[in-house]
Structure 1
Amino acid sequence: MFSDLRTIARVLRNDLAPHTESESVVVADRAHGRLRRYGTPRQLDAAREAGAVPVLLVPPLAVPASCYDLAPGAAPANSVVEFLLSTGTIPYVVDFGDVGYADRRLGFEDYFDTFVPRAVADAVDDFRAGADAVDLMGWSLGGTISILTAAHRRDLPIRSVITVGTPLDYAAMPMYAAARKVLKPTGGRPLRAIARSVGVPAALVQLSYRATSWQRELRKPKYILDNIDDHDALIRMQVIDRFQDAMPGYPGRVTEQMLVNLVIGNEIAEGVLHLGDHTVDVRTLTAPVFTVGSHRDAIVSHAAAAHGRELLASSTHVEFHTVESSHLGLLTGPDAAAHTWPAIAAFRDGLNSH
């Protein structure tokens, strides 16, 4: 009884899950583009000697870069970084950092034509081995930015693009399809000025993400009691809560582009996006692509993720996998460890054999 009470107290104090992170060094410290390399010196030497192609992890906007390294060692199957290191791969993560009112003019083009390309060049230069390219991997909108980068900057040394839970057809997502129907007649004008001016504050992003998993929030007290003897389960719960509480906001220009170009125009589904003075045709992407979707994802529908098979037909190889899990569960957790991660490893092994 006293042990159970202590566990509940630690959960309520948010100190059951240890604050751990994989060993890393900062390779480049730029505004909205801090590049971090993970791994010990021994792991780096081994990867360089083997000529293993590194992975550059691209986080979604309004999501902390820590999404790829959630409490390594604290509970099974939390850290993508930890998994990649276990396969002999050196992961790099580009951290876009927090955004505020001063960053309101940042648009998608800043990410796919400046921040990520610089990170690709810095990672290749830092790795300095037989591998002269990287695999881009992005979760959710991080996958969108990865595809836009690879399609727009075909001069970059990008071997492949890996996306997890990435929306590629907004008309196939009921929530956005309904918004599109309401806003399309006016082009979203009533909201565009507001979106451009203030973006989406961090507090609203955090609330919105929790709202997509409201059943989890309501069931949390019962979940804690049901798993009082399963510390791994409670640690995973606490890690996710911390992750949600750390979400930053969206810049104003990005918010307007999401509204106009993605939701109303659904340009990503057609293949050609007009973002500022940039026109990007993702249908010209030729690098191999690996994508993952789920019927249980409350944010990105299975059809929206699977649209990549049709959209990216110019790629030398397009591979789509269905992993039945939540939006975050596609990336990290037991379902990801059992299905997503092995499929990604197999895809990358296939690239190595060619």
Structure 2
Amino acid sequence: MVDLSAAGRGLRNLWALSLGGGIAPRHRTDSIAIATGDHRTVRRYADDDQVRAAREAGRMPVLLVPPIAAPASCYDLSADHSVVAHLRDSGRVPYVLDFGAISYADRAMGFGDFITDIIPEAIGRVLDDYRAPQVDLYGWSLGGTLSLLTTAAQPVQTRRVRSVVTVATPLDYNQLPGYPLARALTKPTGGMAPTVLLRLLGGVPAPLVQVAYRATSWDREAKKPWFIATHLGETETLRRMETIDRFQRDFPGYPGRLVEQMWECFIYRDELVGGVLDFDGHTVDLADIDVPVQLFGSHRDALCTWGAARHGVDLLSRSPHLQFTTVESSHLGLLAGPDAAIHTWPAIDDFLAGVDTLVTGAVAPT
């Protein structure tokens, strides 16, 4: 007997995905913009009462730093998998820095702009809004790299970062597929071949970033028509698929100078492995980081191998409280998915609670 309700649901879902406006509206957790500007908008995901309660409990604000070429919505992916909602509901006050769109006009922006200007300004905005002396930084993928570099670049005497959490952040590009080969192939040109192309393009345009990200899960893309056809009646399953597709379509590009520096410092000159990097004469040493740090890695991550993430344990030797946690999931799933909700988020809750305890002079849990 044909299930007419399921058939009707399937037809409605097919229409929504193909000609309609989608199965479900985009999710947005309520927020307040405390600062706006080019590549430096900061939003707070808590109301004044929640801020007051967190401050009275002695908790510092959490500033989430996105990757350059992924939208800030990574921290508010869906109602079920929202990092900011989880932090808020656990008694923390989350803020998100939004770099916005990246265009050809931004081609001169490099790491120095982010780690000595944009992110420090966002930290100041957060501390002024929350009325706190320090902030906990939290970054996914390259957002974790930016968080660590920003912390290392700050003078120890005036450091405003209390701790750093990085999720799926590669810190050894030798352990990422393809990069050692690219370095070897471009060695006869002194590593200039990619740099010349990047300068012509002014960076990596958003469409190329979106295609490259989708290519890392090519099997998912190839199977998508069949997946949709066999799950037409499963609205919730298709809603999750739609959420990821929308997220991928929003990817911005990389600014020219920054992606040149990624090639030069992270890959060709291999400076990231040793932790000492030179960005146009501005030297940053990750060994200078002397705050608690938590790192996450996965053996299932196609973009950041487990070894590339765990290399941070060797780099951050001065951290007084260093944790590395393995959560087996995809690159995005490690941050905002069922695996994150079950494993990543509770581990970060425990880490931040341990940092709270460290500040009061007690010993943090291991």
User: Which category describes the TM-score, using the shorter chain as reference length?
Assistant: over 0.9
Instruction: Give the partner amino acid of 1:210.
Output: R
1:310 equivalent in alignment to 2:314:
yes
The alignment status of 1:108 with 2:111, answered yes or no, reads yes
Indicate which of 195, 200, 216 corresponds to 2:204: 200
* Displacement after TM superposition at 1:217 (Å): 0.7
1:343 is aligned to 2:325: no
Q: Give the deviation of 1:245 after TM superposition.
A: 0.4
Q: Judge which range, 268-277 or 47-56, deviates more.
A: 47-56
* Pairing of 1:115-130 with structure 2 (within 5 A): 115-128=118-131
Matched, 1:4 2:10: yes
Distance in 2 (CA, whole Å) between partners of 1:18 and 1:342 is 28
- Tell me the alpha carbon deviations over residues 102-145 of structure 1, each in whole angstroms, 9 at most, x when there is no partner: 110000110011000011111011002xx421110110000000
Alpha carbon RMSD of aligned pairs, Å? Answer: 1.4
Match of 1:24 in 2: 31
Structure 1 residues 169-203: Cα deviation after superposition (integer angstroms, max 9, x where no partner)? 00011221221221234232122122134200000
CA deviation after TM superposition for structure 1 residue 226, in Å: 4.0
SS in 2 for 1:149: helix
2:87 matched residue in structure 1: 84
The alpha carbon displacement at 1:9 in A equals: 1.9
What secondary structure does 2:34 align onto? strand
Structure 1 counterpart of 2:68, from 44, 47, 61:
61
Map of 2:142 onto structure 1 = 141
- Distance change in 2, residues 1:266/1:232 (3 Å): farther
Within 1, Cα distance between the matches of 2:130 and 2:64?
Answer: 15
Write the letter of the residue equivalent to 1:92.
Y
Name the stretch that deviates more: 59-68 or 213-222.
213-222
Residue 54 of structure 1: how far off its partner (Å): 1.1
Partner of 2:217: 213
Q: Deviations over 1:247-291 (max 9, x none)?
A: 111111011111111111221111100111200010111111101
User: Tell me, what secondary structure is at the counterpart of 2:335?
Assistant: coil
CA distance in 2, matches of 1:183, 1:314: 35
Q: SS of the counterpart of 1:23?
A: coil
Give CA-to-partner distance per residue, 1:179-238, whole Å, 9 cap, x none.
Answer: 122123423212212213420000000000000111111122232344444433221211
Cα distance between partner residues in 2 of 1:172 and 1:269:
10
Q: TM-score, normalised by structure 2?
A: 0.92
The SS at the match of 1:174 is coil
Structure 1: tracts of 5 or more residues without a match: none
Q: Which runs of 5 or more structure 2 residues have no equivalent in the other structure?
A: 1-6, 359-366
Q: Aligned partner of 1:102: which letter?
A: A
The 2-side partners of 1:20 and 1:40 are apart by 18
Paired residue total: 348
Q: How many Å apart are 1:21 and its aligned residue?
A: 0.7
Larger Rg: 2
C-alpha contact (below 8 Å) 1:22/1:39 kept by paired residues:
no
TM superposition outliers: structure 1 runs of 4+ over 6 Å: none
Measured in 1, the distance between the counterparts of 2:21 and 2:289 equals: 44
Aligned partner of 2:159 in structure 1 is 156
Deviations 1:293-316 (A, max 9, x none): 111111111100010111111111
Residue 269 (structure 1) aligns with: 273
In structure 2, how many angstroms separate the alpha carbons of the residues matched to 1:300 and 1:239? 22
* Secondary structure of residue in 1 paired with 2:144: helix
SS in 2 for 1:114: helix
Letter in 1 for 2:148: I
User: What is the identity, as a one-letter code, of the residue corresponding to 2:145?
Assistant: T
Q: Which moved more, 1:304-313 or 1:39-48?
A: 39-48
Cα pair 2:58 2:356 within 8 Å, conserved: no
Judge conservation of contact 2:9–2:232 (CA < 8 Å) in 1: no
CA contact (8 A) 2:298 2:330 kept: yes
How far residue 47 of structure 1 moved from its aligned partner, in angstroms, is 1.8
Aligned to 2:255: 251
Question: Is 1:328 aligned to residue 332 of structure 2?
Answer: yes
What is the CA-CA distance between 1:71 and the residue it aligns to?
Answer: 2.7
- Identify the residue that residue 165 of structure 1 maps to in structure 2: 168
> TM-score with structure 1 length normalisation?
0.95
